[in-house]
């Protein structure tokens, strides 16, 4: 970050502050006779330099706190059956978004997804065993404890935390 800011003309000094998962910088512009270009141009160069770091460091976005207009994040859900197909669609969509002027960051969350499997029960076998569907449902719920025990906030999204057994349970 220091190197990127050092290369921008008309920055008198700057201070970088670490706030956990976010960095802030206070930038003082040059004054008086030292000014070589308009503040708007300097601000654009600063943002361009910082956004250029996205390729090199885990930077999500760079924005000016005082710019007023700032954008809001937009989430688009793409659904389907095949992870490979979804990844291809998401990658293509992101590339299209990046061509639109004014969009400064686009990403997908497919790496944070998991496979969902559906278990279909054989009703006639359940009845032969002398069990009912509510009993099976209760056994399954107890075995997997699918009751959320809390929530975790990831990228502005609440993700339920669930507990599961570490070993297989058998009933004798």
59-101, pLDDT tens digit by residue? 776 767 665 445 566 778 888 878 888 888 888 988 888 888 7
- Coil, helix or strand for 149? strand
The verdict on residue 24 lying in a domain is yes
The verdict on residue 29 lying in a domain is yes
Distance CA 15, CA 56 (A): 21
pTM equals 0.42
18 with 26: CB under 8 angstroms?
no
State residue 69's pLDDT score: 47
- Does 76 share its domain with 109? yes
The verdict on residue 15 lying in a domain is yes
Alpha helices in 26-150 (DSSP H): 39-51, 83-98, 123-128, 133-144
Range in 43-52, 73-82, 108-117 with the lowest mean pLDDT: 108-117
- Does 79 share its domain with 39? no
Number of domains in the chain: 3
- Coil, helix or strand for 110? helix
- Coil, helix or strand for 159? strand
Average pLDDT along the chain: 77
The verdict on residue 31 lying in a domain is yes
Residue 133 has pLDDT above 60, yes or no: yes
- Does 99 share its domain with 131? no
State residue 157's pLDDT score: 77
- Does 80 share its domain with 103? yes
What average pLDDT score do residues 41-50 get?
A: 85
| In the chain, % of residues over pLDDT 90 | 1
The verdict on residue 153 lying in a domain is yes
Return the higher-pLDDT residue of 10 and 68.
Answer: 10
Residue 132's domain comprises: 123-162
- Does 77 share its domain with 100? yes
- Does 9 share its domain with 49? yes
What average pLDDT score do residues 133-149 get?
A: 72
Return the higher-pLDDT residue of 164 and 132.
Answer: 132
State residue 99's pLDDT score: 86
- Does 86 share its domain with 105? yes
State residue 68's pLDDT score: 47
State residue 73's pLDDT score: 67
The verdict on residue 64 lying in a domain is no
In the DSSP assignment, the letter for residue 52 is G
Distance CA 61, CA 52 (A): 10
Return the higher-pLDDT residue of 144 and 70.
Answer: 144
The verdict on residue 170 lying in a domain is no
5 with 49: CB under 8 angstroms?
yes
Cβ neighbours, 10 Å, residue 61 = 13
- Does 42 share its domain with 21? yes
The verdict on residue 66 lying in a domain is no
| Residue (of 121, 122, 113) closest to 81 by Cα position | 113
| In the chain, % of residues over pLDDT 70 | 77
């Amino acid at each position: 970050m220091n190197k990127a800011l050092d290369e921008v003309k008309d920055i008198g000094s700057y201070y970088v502050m670490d706030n956990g998962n976010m960095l802030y910088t206070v930038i003082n512009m040059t004054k008086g006779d030292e000014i070589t270009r308009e503040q708007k141009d300097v601000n654009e160069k600063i943002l361009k330099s910082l956004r250029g770091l996205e390729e090199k460091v885990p930077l999500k976005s760079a924005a000016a706190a005082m710019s007023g207009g700032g954008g809001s994040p937009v989430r688009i859900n793409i659904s389907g059956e095949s992870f490979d197909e979804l990844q291809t669609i998401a990658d293509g969509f992101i590339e299209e978004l990046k061509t639109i002027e004014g969009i400064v960051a686009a990403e997908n969350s497919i790496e944070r997804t998991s496979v969902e499997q559906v278990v279909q029960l054989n009703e006639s076998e359940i009845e032969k065993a002398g069990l009912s569907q509510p009993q099976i449902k209760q056994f399954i719920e107890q075995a997997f404890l699918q009751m959320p025990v809390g929530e975790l906030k990831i990228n502005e999204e609440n993700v339920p935390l669930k507990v599961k057994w570490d070993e297989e349970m058998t009933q004798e």
